[in-house]
Amino acid sequence: MINRRSFLKSTAASLPFATLPAMAAPLSAEPAATSASLPLLAELPQRQPTSQTAGQPWQARVRRVGQTNMTEHDPAVMDVEAWADFWHQAGADVVFISVTGILAYYPSKVPFHRHGRFLNGQDFFGKCAEAARKRGMRIVARMSPDLNWPDALTAHPEWAMRNRDGSVEHNGEDPRLFRTCMFSTYMDDYVPAIMREVNDLYQPDCFYTNGWPPLGSMPECYCSVCSKLPPSGTPAYWHAFNERFFDLWSRYDAIARERKPDGFYFANLGGNVHAGPNLARLGKVAAWFQGDNQGRTNDDPAAWGATLQGRVCNAIRNGSFATNINAAYSTGLVRWRNASKNPAESLLWMSETLAAGLVPYDHFIGAESGLGEDHRWMSVGEEFFRWTQRHDAHLHNRRTLANVGVVIGQSTQVLYKGPATATGNSYMRETVHGLYELLLTGRFAFDFVHEDRLDLDQLRSYRVLILANIALLTSQQCQQLRDYVAAGGSLLASFETGLYDGDLQRRADSPLADLFGTAVAGDAIGTNGNACYARIERQHPVLQGFRDTHWLPGAQNRIPLRPIAEPVLTIVPGFVQYPPELAYPDPATAHTNQPALALQDHGRARCAYFAGDIERTYWLTGHGDLQRLYHNTLRWLTEDEAFVSVQGDGLLEFFAWETELGYSLHMLNYTNPNAFHGWMQATYPLGAQQIAMRLPAGVRATAVKLLRAETEVTFHQQDQLLQFTVPGLQQYEVASIVIA
Rule CB under 5 A: which residues touch Zn ion?
181, 183, 221, 223, 226
Cβ–Cβ < 8 Å for 397, 664: yes
Alpha-carbon torsion (327, 296, 495, 541), positive or negative? positive
| Shortest separation between residue 229's beta carbon and Zn ion, angstroms | 8
Residue 101 or 545 with smaller CB distance to Zn ion: 101
Residue 4 or 228 with smaller CB distance to Zn ion: 228
Helix extents (H) in 216-368: 235-256, 279-285, 305-316, 343-355, 367-368
> 658: which strand partners?
399, 663
Residue 101 or 595 with smaller CB distance to Zn ion: 101
Q: Which of these, 680, 65, 670, 733, lies nearest to 343 by C-alpha position?
A: 680
Cα–Cα distance for residue pair 263/58, rounded to 1 Å: 9
| Shortest separation between residue 285's beta carbon and Zn ion, angstroms | 23
Residue 226 or 406 with smaller CB distance to Zn ion: 226
Own/partner contacts of 295-300, CB < 8 Å, gap of 24 or more, are 295/326, 295/327, 295/331, 295/332, 295/341, 295/345, 295/349, 296/331, 296/332, 296/345, 296/678, 296/679, 297/331, 297/332, 297/333, 298/332, 298/333, 299/216, 299/426, 299/429, 300/272, 300/429, 300/433
| Shortest separation between residue 169's beta carbon and Zn ion, angstroms | 9
Cα–Cα distance for residue pair 438/405, rounded to 1 Å: 14
> 711: which strand partners?
706
Beta strands per DSSP E along 203-306: 206-209, 265-269, 288-291
Residue 226 or 504 with smaller CB distance to Zn ion: 226
Residue 86 or 159 with smaller CB distance to Zn ion: 159
Strands 533-536 and 551-553: antiparallel
Residue 189 or 601 with smaller CB distance to Zn ion: 189
H or E stretch at 136 = none
| Shortest separation between residue 207's beta carbon and Zn ion, angstroms | 23
| Shortest separation between residue 247's beta carbon and Zn ion, angstroms | 15
Residue 26 is given by DSSP the state P
| Shortest separation between residue 587's beta carbon and Zn ion, angstroms | 60
| Shortest separation between residue 163's beta carbon and Zn ion, angstroms | 11
142 phi, psi to nearest 5 deg: -95, 125
- Count CA atoms within 13 Å of residue 587 on its CB side: 9
| Shortest separation between residue 185's beta carbon and Zn ion, angstroms | 11
Residue 152 or 327 with smaller CB distance to Zn ion: 152
| Shortest separation between residue 155's beta carbon and Zn ion, angstroms | 17
Cβ–Cβ < 8 Å for 493, 520: no
Residue 246 or 684 with smaller CB distance to Zn ion: 246
Task: Quickly count helices (H) and strands (E) in the chain.
Answer: 20, 31
Cβ–Cβ < 8 Å for 112, 149: yes
